Amino acid sequence: AQTVTQSQPEMSVQEAETVTLSCTYDTSESDYYLFWYKQPPSRQMILVIRQEAYKQQNATENRFSVNFQKAAKSFSLKISDSQLGDAAMYFCAYSITSGNTPLVFGKGTRLSVIA
Amino acid sequence: SQTIHQWPATLVQPVGSPLSLECTVEGTSNPNLYWYRQAAGRGLQLLFYSVGIGQISSEVPQNLSASRPQDRQFILSSKKLLLSDSGFYLCAWSVGHSGNTIYFGEGSWLTVV
């Protein structure tokens, strides 16, 4: 069964600095999707970024970028120029590409941003 | 554009009472629908998902049930709530061509007292 592991329950970063959140996953599939979701204090889950495994280029979305290491099954999220609004729970998630398969989520990393 | 609505936003129910949480999606057809639960300070637990009307897959056996009476409506129910049912419930949807990206509703806080 596929699993997603986020080894950092909590992280903190100074405002304007850069922080990297770690995620590893276990799968025997060759093609799949990886996601990072953000859950701010409002509890609304928001998609941050998505990576398709067959694409070698790392996805970027403004200040958010990923470091996708397929062989190592690693998918870290880098937040540059951190802002107070980035404070949230961040969840890494995995999905195979075929069929209507639900996402598998990690347990989350709580990010605090220090002014 | 697609939207998802979930209600009620907050619910306080006594132990043993019934539950009904509703979710509707607009702006798309034949979506995949999901119910997740998030206990306090913890990750997301998939409860049910549905790929079509009347098609429900249960991930965790418990006293909750789900139904999909219409294409874009998903309902989470219980006949008798337990204290352990307290948590934050999230409805979500996806469509196959979106690369399995799922989009979440605003969530419902359930406190069983």
Q: What is the pLDDT of residues B85-111, one digit of tens each?
A: 999 999 999 886 556 788 999 999 999
Q: What per-residue confidence (pLDDT) applies to A68?
A: 97
A36 CB neighbours in chain B (<8 A) are none
State residue B70 phi and psi, 5-degree precision: -135, 165
The answer to whether the CB atoms of A100 and B96 lie below 8 A apart is: yes
The answer to whether the CB atoms of A33 and B106 lie below 8 A apart is: no
Q: What is the CA radius of gyration of chain B?
A: 13
**pLDDT bracket for residue A97 (50, 70, 90):** confident
Interface test with A, best of B28, B91, B100 (most A CBs within 10 A): B100
Give A30→chain B minimum CA distance, Å: 15
Closest by CA to B24, choosing from B74, B89, B92, is B74
- The count of residues in chain B is 113
Least confident of A91-95, B26-30, B37-41, B79-83: B37-41
Kindly state the percentage of chain A with pLDDT values over 70.
Answer: 97
Spatial separation of the C-alpha atoms in residues B5 and A98, rounded to whole Å: 27
Spatial separation of the C-alpha atoms in residues B108 and B37, rounded to whole Å: 9
Instruction: Give me the mean pLDDT over the A58-82 stretch.
Output: 97
Give A98→chain B minimum CA distance, Å: 9
B48 — contact with chain A (CB < 8 Å)? Answer: no
**pLDDT bracket for residue A98 (50, 70, 90):** low
Give B6→chain A minimum CA distance, Å: 12
Q: For residue range B16-73, what is the model confidence (pLDDT) as tens digits?
A: 999 999 999 999 888 999 999 997 767 888 999 998 898 998 887 678 999 999 999 9
The answer to whether the CB atoms of A100 and B88 lie below 8 A apart is: no
